[in-house]
Amino acid sequence: LREHEEFTKVKNIAKIELGRYEIDTWYFSPFPPEYNDCPKLFFCEFCLNFMKRKEQLQRHMKKCDLKHPPGDEIYRSGTLSMFEVDGKKNKVYGQNLCYLAKLFLDHKTLYYDVDLFLFYVLCECDDRGCHMVGYFSKEKHSEESYNLACILTLPPYQRKGYGKFLIAFSYELSKKEGKVGTPERPLSDLGLLSYKGYWTRVLLEILKKHKGNISIKELSDMTAIKADDILNTLQSLDLIQYRKGQHVICADPKVLDRHLKAAGRGGLDVDVSKLIWTPYK
């Protein structure tokens, strides 16, 4: 399988240009066959159309009138904005985003219908426009209570806290919907690390402040994190005991502090007062 991946990867796109970055790709992505012979693709950073040659992109930039992702700006705090893009209303943008994302996502298939998804595109904005740093996709209706399908921080922006921001944002949307949520499986290694960090920090901070007993159900209601994910997180931190047929959370303050320190930096926070959004109907 590895050999096959390496082989397809060589035949596929090795680099992309996006805004002011040239980025080495990680994985195969099923671009239309006519793009398979070019080592580098040039993306318009706003509409995400891609081209084979730099001159084509330069011509495109003269006439492309987008300066931010299509769709509604649902969050703005400082220079950070989040746009909600409906895959049904912006099909080509949704498809372009999926092609781009697959270059960095190993295990996700791309044969789904963008119509069924909303895309939450996070941007850093300046006087030249809103530059995408990452995104997550979300099914409009999920039977399995997924609140996130795919998540990506573009490589030049990784390890700066944007991933945690995107995850926190997905749970804020779930809270507004009055539902619990969980990310679609499987998670990549980096995805799992980021989620574990998020769950650990959110849960331990509540346990630290809370006086007296608290149940997993209560934690789930407060955070919109699915009960299974809470149980697994607390179990992996060795904070759960099983007494008289029930899971009991043991929250010794010293132990909590130790785990919190190990959980690392908190990252960028979502300021909920700046989220203007109503659930999709």
Residues contributing to the site for ligand ACO (CB under 6 A): 104-105, 148, 150-153, 158-164, 183-184, 187-188, 190-191, 193-194, 197, 264-265, 267
Catalytic residue among 17, 172, 184, 218: 184
Identified binder of Zn ion from the candidate list 14, 38, 47, 248, rule CB under 5 A? 47
Segment contacting Zn ion by CB under 5 A, of 38-46, 188-196, 218-226, 237-245: 38-46
* Residues shown for the chain: 281
**Smallest distance, Zn ion to C-beta of residue 56, A:** 11
d(CA 199, CA 178): 18
139 a catalytic residue: no
Closest C-alpha to 126, from 81, 69, 88: 81
DSSP 8-state code for residue 184? P
Strand residues in 161-262 grouped as ranges (E) = 182-183, 240-243, 246-249
d(CA 95, CA 101): 10
**Smallest distance, ligand ACO to C-beta of residue 117, A:** 13
Residue with Cβ nearer ligand ACO (51 or 200): 200
**Smallest distance, Zn ion to C-beta of residue 45, A:** 8
d(CA 176, CA 65): 33
Site map 53..92 versus Zn ion, x via CB under 5 A: -----------x----------------------------
**Smallest distance, ligand ACO to C-beta of residue 105, A:** 5
Residue with Cβ nearer ligand ACO (129 or 155): 155
Burial class of residue 220, CB neighbours in 10 A (0-12, 13-18, 19+): middle
Closest C-alpha to 78, from 122, 118, 35, 112: 122
Give the active site residues.
184
Interface residue list for Zn ion (CB under 5 A) = 44, 46-47, 64
